[in-house]
Each structure stands twice: as structure tokens, then as C-alpha cells.
A and B are shown apart, each in its own frame.
Chain A
Amino acid sequence: MNKEAAYWIALAHLPRWGHLKINNLIIQFYHEYKLTPENFFQLSENDWKNQYRLEYNEVEDLKKAKSELANNAFLAESLYNEGYELIPITSPEYSKNLKENLKTAHAPALLYVKGNKQIMYEKSVAIVGSRNASDKSLQFTDNIAKLVSKEYKVVVSGFAKGVDKQALDSAIKYKGQSIIVLPQGIMTFGSGFKTYYKQIVDGDVLVLSTFFPKAPWKAELAMARNPIIYGLADEIYVAESSDKGGTWSGVVDGLRKSRKIYVRKPEASENTANNLLIQKGAIAVDFNGIPVQGYKPIETQKTILVANEPKINYDNKIFGLLKTGEYTVKDILKKLQLDWSEKKLRDFLKKQKEVEMINKKSLRFTIKNQVVKQNLLFD
């Protein structure tokens, strides 16, 4: 138990301060003046103003934070009681990778973790990618997770749908170790702790969050979480990225910070932004994560795409079937003997304007006007 937890919670979540300002303050009192957070909060307002050159607003923020220390103590007690640990940036337990990769400007002042902390100090590999990744990308993810686990390295992932989840599940499947970096406060991850109970008990999973412990999932938090994933890892593999969204901005940010980032070499037919990332300086790798020497991304993707896939045929077949009634994904695959995964078909159907989704006990699909017709019949 860190007896100064209440102070660290206060510092880490100073409203609108940002990592840089918070870290600079910590560097000042902790390294320059050799004060503990407790000592620092005992200082007078004048000391804050004069010695630390803090503005009026900043002093006000600190005063407010100070008045909430007792409240933080209650929160910290319940965190510790539930088995969470708090690791401040000054602690020797704080991830060295995170500090080195994110530096003063981006390293969070406080980590909330549960599970086997030791995992944080092992060699680690982040596997990232979009929520709606293709089968190819998921297979790539699975394969990288397998190789990583074989080498006793740790898989770092972000617990989003698609690639993140695949990375975690594969690491577990191959008896490897994983860090889950949460896009939310650690106290809101109840069901996850149930799901991964055994892995956590066995010391194979560490759950980590940098946000206020009770903060619910938010898109902003998911975005803010990405640099933490990259920061924790020694190596970064990208299975699939579109040209916007979390993966994209995370990788671009990582490249800006001069990280070495490996991107799956896309097949010519793919409509992903993997090539764009490779153009921006990421390293193309094959299915086994080995860099592809001399790979030059081609920009003629779209023409190839049209020539390649007899997509229209499928459309016709599927639409033809859907016109005759309501079907589940399973029904459709069986009836048309399609060689698609359920997920692929489901995603495909969801994207089609003409297709209506019907939320019955098992999700069903049909053609939109079909439904309209039926309604008319009942009139």
C-alpha cells in the first residue's frame, strides 16, 4: 500500500493540466526540492506561487485538490481493498518502457493495475488494429500472438473489439502473458475481471488503466489509451488500419515519436490503409512478422480490387435469398454454401443499405422493402 496514494490521485487527475505540466511539477518538487507529495501539499500557497512559479488558477486547482485528499483516501482504501495497486511515476515499479517511450510530455503520473505486475518488466509486443478487422488480419494477429508467446514475451493490447480482443484471446490460448490496457477507469471493468479471473490468478494477465478509477468508457479515453499501449511495448505490430480512427492516429503518433512500427503487408486486393502507414515509415512485415525487404506499396489498389473479386455474384445470391424472408447469418451461410465467416457476413450485411436488421432473439436480416411489403399486407 502506498501511504501517499491520496496525494498521487490528486496530482494525476489535476483537471486540464495535461501530462507535461503535471510531470514538470512532480520533477520540480520530487527531484529538485526532494519533497514527498505529502510535503508538497503541506506547503503554503505562497510557496506554491513563489517557489514553484504557479499561476493563480494553478494554485486554485491545487487548493481544491488538497481539500479533496481525505475523499481520495476513501477511494484509495477501496481500491486497495479490491486488489488494485497504484504505481506513481516516481516508483521503481513504474514501467521503464512507458517512461522512456512517452517521456515527460506523455507519461501518465499514476498507473492503476491489477494482476501480475512482473509482466510489465518483461519484453513486450503490442498488437493493434481496427475493430472491424478482416479474417486475414485476425489470423495475422493470432499468429503474431503465438510467436510472441513462444518467445515468452508479453502481448499488450487495448481490449477493443477485433484485433485487440484477438491478440488477448490468442495470447491466452498459447499460454502467453498479456497486458490489457483499459479505455476506462479500472473500477468499471468488473465483468472483465470475472472473465479473466483464472489468468489473473495464474499471473498471466495484468490489467492497467491510467484514468480516474471510476471513469466509464468514452471514445476520448479509448483514443488517449492508445499511446499507453505503444508506450508499454518494446515492439509494435499493426494488423490492420483504416485511414482514420484510433489505430491510425496511434500509429502516426508513434511514427512521429520515432518508434519502430511493423505493419502487416496487405494483399493487393485489400482496402486498408496499411500501405499508407508503410509509406509514412512503418515497416512492412509478412505473416510471421518478418520484415519484407524492398516492399513498395502500390497505389493502384482500387483497380485491382474491381478486377479481383466476383463480389457482385455474392451480392445477388444473398439479396436474392433475403428477398424471400428473414434469415440469420447461419441460415444464409448454410443455404448459399458460402465460404465466409459469420463475422464477415454479418459485417457485410450491416454495411448494405438495402438490408434490414431485425433484432430478434437471434439477429436476422432481410431486404428492406420486403418488410415494407409485409406491413402492407397486414394493412
Chain B
Amino acid sequence: MTKQEAEAILQKTFKLSHFYDEQWLTIEKILKGERVLLIEKTGFGKSLCFQFPAILHKGTTVIFSPLIALMRDQVKKLNSLSISAKCVNSEQAPEENSQIINDAKAGKIKILYIAPERQENSEWIEATRQMNLSMVVVDEAHCISVWGHDFRPAFRRIINLVNLLPKGLPVLATTATATKKVEADIAQQMGGNLSIIRGNLMRDNFKIFVIKVSSEDEKLIWLGKNLEKLPGSGVLYTGTRVDTEIYSKWFEHLKIPSIGYNAGLDPESRIAIENGLMNNQWKCVISTNALGMGIDKPDIRFIIHTQIPQSPIHYYQEIGRAGRDGQPSYIILFYNPEDRRLPEAFIEGGRPAIAKYEKVINAIKNEMLGEKDLMRRTNLKQNQLRVIKADLIEQKIIREVTFGRSKKIEYITKAPQLNTKAFEELRASKTNDLEKMIEYVETTQSRMKYLCDYLGDTASGSFNNCDNTGLKKITVAVTTEWTQKLQDFREDYFPVLEVETKGTNLVNGVTASYYGVSNVGAALHRSKYENGGDFPDLLLKLTLKAYRKKFGQEKFDLILYVPPTKSGELVKNFAMKVSQVLKFPISHNLTKQRVTNEQKVFENSYLKSDNVKDAFIYKVPVEIQGKSILLIDDIFDSSATVKEIGRYLTNLGALKIAPLAIARTVGGDLV
């Protein structure tokens, strides 16, 4: 097929007039059944390089993509062009996925988007035995490489698959962000035999700034003052989930329309936010890096980071979504020298201690275990266990196998010893990347050029689009007016305790503060661990304020408090004071019927739940019947204890149980 013939089809089917040179180069190779790695910046039109050949092929093209939002988006677009495309992902109902897989088997689908994790699903594997496959696409191919910014273990299987596919079946791998090292790694893993096409990465419509600050307050104040002055709508990236909440509450306080987004939200909320972002419903979406990088919104006018990312490649990837329409877009990074602690913690804490690896290996040697049982056996946090699991799979020490619907981890016969050198190399490489990120902040040269060089883009050109090359530098002016506004906000913002579950009469409660984020934590610590006596009145005042904000004038029939693990009357005394002020009767009848451990000893929710299961007893059950109950605790850590008490009291006939705590821990999932 000549380019002219192809463009005739392109106009008819995709309503586009022509291919870019690099697009056509790629498509020609694909049509010949070759393998290609395509590295092009966001907005280049990589998708067309597989969508176009896909409609010419007889069978189905399968696209492995980790980004559900992107899949949804592209499917919508293709369907609007009358091309039969579908996606299979974990956020759709199983029935819907089954139907789509059946349609694919029956040859009714030209383009099928699928998450790499699906390769673990037996229904899908079964279907692949009968499907007529024409081409395989690996989207976001940098996820293959541990040297990239977003290594995903599920891609390992995709790579194995690619290596097993027969010659002549075209394979396209695409990414917008790959350093030379990652590029070489992808090519090597895909078994060589592939052409690499690399475009230039320069984004000249960006206006790039770095704002140096010396406190979190300065970031909040600058944003409070200036966010609305920025054009259009955009995204604000924070380092942690808690920060997404704090920033969105701050903007809410200032009446700037915004919304928080993180990986912990349910699919419906996430879809609603993604759609809202598309329709400019808010000035900005505040997100951890979990926000679908694949959102195909052409006019994101600004991307702001309140926290430096781990590496320039992370950063390039995250800002890459701005200004795909080519119009000017603001790229702003805040930097407080202290900020490097968070990425450092990720790099350090991302790698669990060797002893923990040994623990997992020993458990698995004796017994084939599922993830849950393994967490119970080893007392490891889920995310830590997953890191260990991925590493041990990588090192061919364990593997994950499927038994019907359940997954088990097994030890590999004659497995090698744990190779800790590999971790050290990776850690060194990541530390180096972080240094490079800080170098980006400190550089006096063109920032765009710095990023392009880092990514191995050798294209030349002018890079005069940052605060080092002509744009005016931004500094933060702190005024008493804004300091006061921030103070007001802090005294009026109380984190919610989300404990509502099906089957119990628990309702969401409230807490005065995050532990460790404010002076509340310090005061608690003094009383609890330094023999500082009763909780000070400051805490009572704040907790009551939190109560009023959440529950207003609502009346509760009864106050109970969580009985302590160790002896001590701190919580009891505190609850009595609350009872005196609110004038709700208090009962001391909730006790423990067996000894439990302190919840903080346990690293995961399964062990926390096991620890408190059936541990509580209420001496006079009839007192609970038909009552609404305010349940008081000092520090809300995991929800396991409150949920267990809630379940128990519900069974005794309580109508409503609301938790009230002085502080909640930040722990758990950071992003």
C-alpha cells in the first residue's frame, strides 16, 4: 500500500488528512509484520500508528494498556468513527467483560484494549486460544523496565508473550518517556529484532517555572493567591493522599472550585472526576500521581507540582499532559529543600529490609500460600509484601500461579539465592535520578533543554521557555492577611473518619487533626508516651469543634469509649469530659473480654482485624438497644477496632454508631 492509498483510507475512516512522516514510517513497518518501538511525545499521534493498521487487518488487534481512563477515552473516539473497539478492565462488571471477550472471540471487535493484569484471567486466556489475532500493541512500554519511572510487574508477562508470538505478527510498543537506558532495556527484553523510532521531545508551548519556598505555608499561600489567575483549568500534583485532601480543603475554604483525586477512590468517583476534568468543571484537580496519565484532554492549561517527583522522567511524564493543543501552558514546580525527604523515603522505604525477604522466602518454601495468608504469616504490609513479591518473582525465586479463581505463590524448584546486589544497583540508580531532579531545580540553564537531554533527545533548537531563559522568576510574598487566612483554615478543618460499611450501623465520624501534621500530634504524644498526664484542654476544645462541625446540634443517646489495650485512663477521662460538655450520658460498660495487642504492632489489616475480632463485650446489652452512640478514641489508626466495635454494637441493636477521635494517623497508602 502506498502512502497515498493509505491517506485516502485515513480521510474516509479517521477524517484526518495525512500522516506525519514518523507515523507513516511506523505504519509501513507494521503492515509488513515487523516489530517497532515508537518513542514520541504526548500528543504526537502514536495511537494512529496501531489504529490505522488495525482496521486494515482481518482479525483483532489487542492493545495492552495500563491506563483505564485512556482506554475508555480511545474507545469512545473510535466508536464515534464507527470502528468497533472495546475495552476490558477491572472497573467494568464481570458480565460486561465476558460479553466483550465473547464478541472478540466471534471476531466482532477490531480493536480490543485490555489491562496487562488481564493476562492472569483464565477466561481471557481461554478466549485467546480462539481469537483471530492480527497484532499486539504494548502501550506505555516503559512500564516494562525497572529503570523507567513506572515499572509494573504485570508487564513482565506481556514481554514473555511478545517473545513467544510467531514471526510475522506485528508488534508495536509505544511510550512517551524513555531514556536511552530504558529504550535499550525495552528493546533487549522484546528480544531484539525491532526497529526503534524516536521523535523529539521538545514542548515549546510550555512556560516553565520553579518556585523556591521554605515552608508548606508558602506553597498554600501562593496557590491561594494565584491559582485563579492562571488561565483555564489544570492539575495540581501533591506528594501524598493526605496532601490532596489538605489542598482541596484549603481551596474549598477559599471557594476555589477544585476536587481531590487519588488511587483510593472507587471507580465511579474516579470516572466522575475524569469527566469533570474534561468538562472544566473545576479550576483544578488535585491528585497524587495516580491520576490517569492517559486522560486525553487537549487543553490542560497548567500543571503544578507541590512536591518534587522522584526523577526528571517522572516529571516529564507528568507535565507531558499539559497543552496538547499546542497553546501556552504553565508548568510550575514548588521546591522546599526539605521536600526531598519524601522521594528519599520512597526510595529507601520502597525496598523492604532483607530480613523481610527471607521471611517471605521461608514461608513459601514450606507452603503454597495466597497473598492474604502470606500477610498473616509474615506480618507485612500489603504494599511491602507486593514489592517483595515482585522482586522475588523477578529474581525467579517464587512465582504466582492460579488455582481456579485464587492466586497462590509458590517457591521455584532449585531457585537461586536472593540477590541483594540488584536492589542496591536499583537504589543507587534511583538516588541518582533524584539528584538529577534536584539539579533540574537548581539549574540556571534552559529547563526544557535539561529535560530533553536527560531523556536522550538529541534534537537541537531554541529552548527559551522557562524562568531561566527569559520568563520572569516567581517568588512568594507572605502577608499577614494570608497568614491569618491560613490560620483560620487550619482551625476549621477536621479530617473525616470513613468507617461506613455495609451490614453495620456505623456512620462516618470526625477527628480534630492528622497525627503528625499539626501540634495536636505532639500534645497527644506527651500525654500518651511521656507521662504528660491527661490530654490537655486544647485537644478537648479542638475535638469538640470538630464534633460541632460534623454533627452540629445532633444529639447522641450514649457515649462509649474504646477500652485501652494497656491500663490507663486517658481515653476514659477524655470521654468523661466530652460527656460533661455535650451533656450525653457516658457508660463504662464497654470492655475487653480478652487481651489484645496494640494495633500498631500489626502491619496489615488482616492481622489488625484478627487482633480485635470478638474482643469486646458490653456488660449490659439491653442498654444498647435502639441507641445512637458516640464512640470516642484518642488515635484512630486503622479502622479495624472501630469497625469491630461497630459490628458488635449493631448486633446488640444500636441504631447508629459514630466515631470521634482526637487524631488519625497518616499511615497506610501514601499515594
Inter-subunit contact B125/A78 (CB<8 Å):
yes
Enumerate 28 A-B pairs (CB-CB under 8 Å) in ascending A order.
A3-B163, A3-B164, A5-B164, A7-B166, A38-B166, A42-B168, A66-B166, A67-B132, A70-B165, A70-B166, A71-B128, A71-B129, A71-B133, A73-B164, A74-B125, A74-B129, A74-B161, A75-B128, A77-B160, A80-B160, A80-B164, A81-B160, A81-B399, A82-B401, A116-B414, A201-B410, A201-B411, A203-B413
Residues of B near A200 (CB, < 8 A) are 413
A interface residue count range (under 10 / 10 to 19 / 20 to 34 / 35 or more): 20 to 34
Inter-subunit contact B160/A1 (CB<8 Å):
yes
Please report the C-alpha to C-alpha distance between residue A6 and residue B136 in the assembled complex, in whole angstroms: 16
Inter-subunit contact B163/A42 (CB<8 Å):
no
Contact with B along A168-198 (1 / 0, CB 8 A): 0000000000000000000000100110011
Contact with B along A119-151 (1 / 0, CB 8 A): 000000000000000000000000000000000
Inter-subunit contact A69/B166 (CB<8 Å):
yes
Inter-subunit contact B166/A83 (CB<8 Å):
no
Of the residues A69, A71, A194, A202, contact of B403 by C-beta under 8 Å: A194
CB-contacts of A65-95 with B (<8 A): 66-67, 69-71, 73-78, 80-83
Interface stretch among B48-56, B362-370, B462-470? B362-370
Q: Point out residues on A near B: beta carbons under 8 Å.
A: 1, 3, 5-7, 38, 41-42, 66-67, 69-71, 73-78, 80-83, 115-116, 190, 193-194, 197-198, 200-203
Among residues of B, the one whose C-beta sits closest to the C-beta of A197 is: B368
Among residues of B, the one whose C-beta sits closest to the C-beta of A67 is: B132
CB of B461, distance to nearest CB on chain A (Å): 42
Inter-subunit contact B125/A116 (CB<8 Å):
no
**Count of interface residues, chain B, beta-carbon cutoff 8 Å:** 34
Q: Is B404 part of the binding interface, using a Cβ–Cβ cutoff of 8 Å?
A: yes
Residues of A near B167 (CB, < 8 A) are 38, 42
Residues of A near B125 (CB, < 8 A) are 74-75, 78
Residues of B near A6 (CB, < 8 A) are 164-166
Inter-subunit contact A201/B166 (CB<8 Å):
no
Please report the C-alpha to C-alpha distance between residue A78 and residue B119 in the assembled complex, in whole angstroms: 8
Among residues of B, the one whose C-beta sits closest to the C-beta of A118 is: B414
Residues of A near B367 (CB, < 8 A) are 197
Inter-subunit contact B164/A83 (CB<8 Å):
no
Residues of B near A203 (CB, < 8 A) are 413-414
Among residues of B, the one whose C-beta sits closest to the C-beta of A80 is: B160
Of the residues B119, B131, B169, B410, contact of A83 by C-beta under 8 Å: B410
Residues of B near A82 (CB, < 8 A) are 399, 401-402
Q: Which of B133, B165, B166 has the most CB of A within 10 A?
A: B166
Of the residues B161, B401, B402, B414, contact of A73 by C-beta under 8 Å: B161
CB-contacts of B151-191 with A (<8 A): 157, 160-161, 163-169, 191
Among residues of A, the one whose C-beta sits closest to the C-beta of B393 is: A81
Of the residues B130, B164, B411, contact of A77 by C-beta under 8 Å: B164
Please report the C-alpha to C-alpha distance between residue A71 and residue B133 in the assembled complex, in whole angstroms: 8
Q: Is B353 part of the binding interface, using a Cβ–Cβ cutoff of 8 Å?
A: no
CB of B35, distance to nearest CB on chain A (Å): 13
Residues of B near A70 (CB, < 8 A) are 133, 165-166, 169
Q: Which of B365, B411, B413 has the most CB of A within 10 A?
A: B413
Please report the C-alpha to C-alpha distance between residue A193 and residue B367 in the assembled complex, in whole angstroms: 12
CB of B440, distance to nearest CB on chain A (Å): 39
| Nearest 9 CB-CB pairings of A with B | A74-B128, A69-B166, A73-B164, A70-B133, A77-B161, A73-B165, A82-B401, A201-B411, A197-B368
CB of A112, distance to nearest CB on chain B (Å): 15
Knowing A1-B160, A116-B414 touch, does A190 contact B119 (C-beta < 8 A)? no
Please report the C-alpha to C-alpha distance between residue A73 and residue B399 in the assembled complex, in whole angstroms: 19
Inter-subunit contact B403/A77 (CB<8 Å):
no
Q: Is B412 part of the binding interface, using a Cβ–Cβ cutoff of 8 Å?
A: yes
CB of B435, distance to nearest CB on chain A (Å): 37
Q: Point out residues on B near A: beta carbons under 8 Å.
A: 119, 125, 128-133, 157, 160-161, 163-169, 191, 365-368, 399-404, 410-414
Inter-subunit contact A76/B164 (CB<8 Å):
yes
Inter-subunit contact B399/A75 (CB<8 Å):
no
Inter-subunit contact B401/A41 (CB<8 Å):
no
Residues of B near A75 (CB, < 8 A) are 125, 128-129
- For the complex with contacts A75-B125, A116-B414, A190-B403, 17 further pairs of A-B residues with Cβ separation under 8 Å are A1-B164, A38-B167, A70-B133, A70-B165, A70-B166, A71-B129, A71-B130, A74-B129, A76-B164, A81-B160, A81-B399, A81-B401, A82-B402, A83-B410, A194-B403, A197-B367, A201-B413
| Secondary structure type dominating chain A contacts | helix
Please report the C-alpha to C-alpha distance between residue A218 and residue B132 in the assembled complex, in whole angstroms: 29
CB of A70, distance to nearest CB on chain B (Å): 4
Residues of A near B130 (CB, < 8 A) are 71
CB of A315, distance to nearest CB on chain B (Å): 46
Inter-subunit contact B366/A198 (CB<8 Å):
yes
Please report the C-alpha to C-alpha distance between residue A203 and residue B365 in the assembled complex, in whole angstroms: 12
Residues of B near A193 (CB, < 8 A) are 401
Inter-subunit contact B410/A41 (CB<8 Å):
no
Residues of A near B163 (CB, < 8 A) are 1, 3
Please report the C-alpha to C-alpha distance between residue A93 and residue B597 in the assembled complex, in whole angstroms: 54
Inter-subunit contact A116/B157 (CB<8 Å):
no
Residues of B near A69 (CB, < 8 A) are 165-166, 169
Among residues of A, the one whose C-beta sits closest to the C-beta of B169 is: A70
CB of A108, distance to nearest CB on chain B (Å): 21
Please report the C-alpha to C-alpha distance between residue A197 and residue B366 in the assembled complex, in whole angstroms: 8
Please report the C-alpha to C-alpha distance between residue A80 and residue B131 in the assembled complex, in whole angstroms: 20
Of the residues A38, A81, A115, contact of B413 by C-beta under 8 Å: A115
Please report the C-alpha to C-alpha distance between residue A77 and residue B122 in the assembled complex, in whole angstroms: 12
Please report the C-alpha to C-alpha distance between residue A79 and residue B377 in the assembled complex, in whole angstroms: 28
Among residues of B, the one whose C-beta sits closest to the C-beta of A191 is: B403
Among residues of A, the one whose C-beta sits closest to the C-beta of B168 is: A42
Residues of B near A81 (CB, < 8 A) are 119, 157, 160, 399-401
Inter-subunit contact B365/A201 (CB<8 Å):
yes
Residues of B near A67 (CB, < 8 A) are 132
Please report the C-alpha to C-alpha distance between residue A42 and residue B168 in the assembled complex, in whole angstroms: 9
Among residues of B, the one whose C-beta sits closest to the C-beta of A77 is: B161
Residues of A near B169 (CB, < 8 A) are 69-70
Please report the C-alpha to C-alpha distance between residue A3 and residue B189 in the assembled complex, in whole angstroms: 12
CB of B469, distance to nearest CB on chain A (Å): 49
Please report the C-alpha to C-alpha distance between residue A3 and residue B403 in the assembled complex, in whole angstroms: 25
Residues of A near B404 (CB, < 8 A) are 190
Please report the C-alpha to C-alpha distance between residue A77 and residue B402 in the assembled complex, in whole angstroms: 13
Residues of B near A194 (CB, < 8 A) are 368, 403
Knowing A41-B166, A70-B169, A73-B166 touch, does A83 contact B129 (C-beta < 8 A)? no
CB of A283, distance to nearest CB on chain B (Å): 35
Residues of B near A73 (CB, < 8 A) are 161, 164-166
CB of A213, distance to nearest CB on chain B (Å): 11
CB of A256, distance to nearest CB on chain B (Å): 36
Please report the C-alpha to C-alpha distance between residue A336 and residue B389 in the assembled complex, in whole angstroms: 57
Q: Which of B119, B133, B400 has the most CB of A within 10 A?
A: B133
Among residues of B, the one whose C-beta sits closest to the C-beta of A3 is: B163
Please report the C-alpha to C-alpha distance between residue A42 and residue B366 in the assembled complex, in whole angstroms: 46
